Amino acid sequence: MNTTLYFVRHAASVYVEGNERGRGLTEQGQRDASIVRQLLSTVIIDVFVSSPYQRAVDTLGPLLKGENIHIEENLRERNMGDFAPLSFLEAKQKLYHEFNFSFPNGESSAVAQERAVQAIQPIIHAHAGKIIALGTHGDIMTLMLNYWNVEYGFSFWQASTMPDIYKLVFQGEQLTEGIRIWDFG
């Protein structure tokens, strides 16, 4: 029995210092969320799950036809911590290349990956044979994909777009297919 999971990386949002969870979509992000709906319009999605961050929920929103979104706290984005004096990109690269390293007050790739995978595995098991849409973030999506295939890493994260869609097919717990549905870049 195949279970299909669509990772839907959130669309563009405006960065607001101190409002990581409440940031909604930009106007372009709203237009892109409508494109996500069009791209997945022929897919009958059984279950909607999202990170608690508003931009992830808002990107899934146009797909809903009266269904509810289950919010899963442990699918939140990774806390990078205090990485100064490195740039954001340098810090991200270090976190991927040194998988167990963490900056002060932050999560290593290994810790963030374990948190997210432990959250998603019960969802996959509970909805075996169904189609699940998951509102997510580029970093945490990459770390979850890396769990099933170590080729997903920093270069993949860097090349992903906002939004982005990946389709994963599982047979039991085994990933049998992983394809990119659309490149918004």
Could you tell me the residue ranges of all domains in the chain? 2-183
Which residues sit opposite 71 in a β-bridge? 50
- Mean pLDDT for 48-68 is 92
pLDDT tens-place string over residues 119-131: 999 999 999 999 9
The pLDDT confidence band at residue 102, using thresholds 50, 70 and 90, is: very high
Can you list the positions of beta strands (E) in 27-97? 47-50, 69-71
Question: What's the N-to-C CA distance of the chain in angstroms?
Answer: 34
Query: In whole angstroms, how far apart are CA 96 and each of 43, 57, 83, 101, 143?
Result: 33, 26, 14, 9, 9
**Looking at the domain 2-183, which fold is it?**
Rossmann fold (3.40.50)
Q: What is the pTM of this model?
A: 0.93
Q: Give the pLDDT confidence score for residue 8 in this predicted structure.
A: 96
- Mean pLDDT for 65-77 is 91
- Mean pLDDT for 72-76 is 96
